[in-house]
Amino acid sequence: MSHIDTELLLTFEERVTAKDMKKDASVRNWPPLARYLQGTTFVVSSDFWPALRALIVSKDPRADAVLEPAPSGQPAQRGATK
């Protein structure tokens, strides 16, 4: 069995909700969101991470210092919302 050490880096002042994610065109098609985030862990692929990261940082700018950057060559920008 694997073991992973974890450390809490930040407690968000304002949470990103499922409603926030569903409004964001770049995040709304993320498979775990379609399943209402049911499950224990979720893979955040490089297709979704830049937009999800930008959404998190827009809610709490302090997160920018602790979240992994968007993969090289991909801008960390939010998608258009509807």
Instruction: Please check whether residue 2 lies inside any domain of the structure.
Output: no
Domain for residue 74, yes or no? no
Domain extent, residue 26, equals 18-65
Structural domain count of the chain:
1
Q: Report if residue 8 sits inside a domain.
A: no
pLDDT of 81: 39
Given this model, what pLDDT does residue 82 score? 38
In a domain, 73, yes or no: no
Q: pLDDT for 52-69, tens place per residue?
A: 999 999 999 999 999 988
| DSSP result, 1-51 | ------------SSPPPHHHHHHBTTTTT-HHHHTTT-SS-----TTTHHH
